[in-house]
Amino acid sequence: MAAKKSSKTNITPQALPRQHSFFENVWDVVRQIPKGRVTTYGAIAKYLGSGMSARMVGWAMNAAHVLPDVPAQRVVNRMGMLSGKMHFGTPTRMEELLQKDGVAVQEDVVVDFAQRFWDPTIELVL
DNA sequence: CCTTTGACTCACT
DNA sequence: CAGTGAGCCAAAG
């Protein structure tokens, strides 16, 4: 074993996500969000046990763009606002996807957000 | 290698 | 009651 490659280019962060990364954990939770439900960055961060590193969840979403099974549109900020809508290619893409899921969005904010709020720390308490 | 940003949140003033 | 600041961890420049 001692054969260590000097090159660090053994992984492409764009197409090969690691399994033990903080990001993978986030994606795993997001994938379990039921249709018609939404969650927040803080809720996911808390579920991960990292305190409130909600910012990292946002970063994970940025990398999640390469994953087809990660409905990042279901992840909104604490106010239920589509803060990341501008990162979907088009400023209305996130809104359209949410409405397609049965989630009403008005003025970039999820309607009845508190009612549609899906908390991983409660739903995934198992 | 070190610095700055980043799709956030909570707390204090 | 509202606004500003600091905290958080990681990746990109």
Residue pLDDT tens, chain A, 126 long: 433 333 332 323 333 444 567 888 899 999 999 999 999 999 999 998 677 789 999 999 999 988 889 999 999 999 999 999 989 989 899 999 999 999 999 999 999 999 999 999 998 876
**Pairwise CA distance, residues A33 & A76, whole Å:** 12
For residues A58 and A42, is the Cβ–Cβ distance under 8 A?
Answer: no
Report the footprint of strand B: residues with C-beta closer than 7 angstroms. A 40-42, 45, 52, 54-59, 61-62, 64-65, 72, 75, 77-79, 83-84, 87-88
User: Which residue in this structure is represented by tokens 């087809």?
Assistant: A68
How long is the CA A55 to C1' B12 vector, in angstroms?
A: 21
Span CA (A83) to C1' (B10), Å: 18
pLDDT for A115 equals 93
User: In whole angstroms, how far apart are CA A19 and each of A23, A57, A73?
Assistant: 8, 16, 22
Closest by alpha carbon to A40, among A70, A69, A74? A74
Question: Can you give the pLDDT at residue A84?
Answer: 92
Strand C positions closer than 7 A to protein CB: 7-12
C-alpha A18/C-alpha A124 separation (Å) is 22
pLDDT tens digits for range A70-103: 999 999 999 999 999 989 989 899 999 999 999 9
- The whole-model pTM stands at 0.84
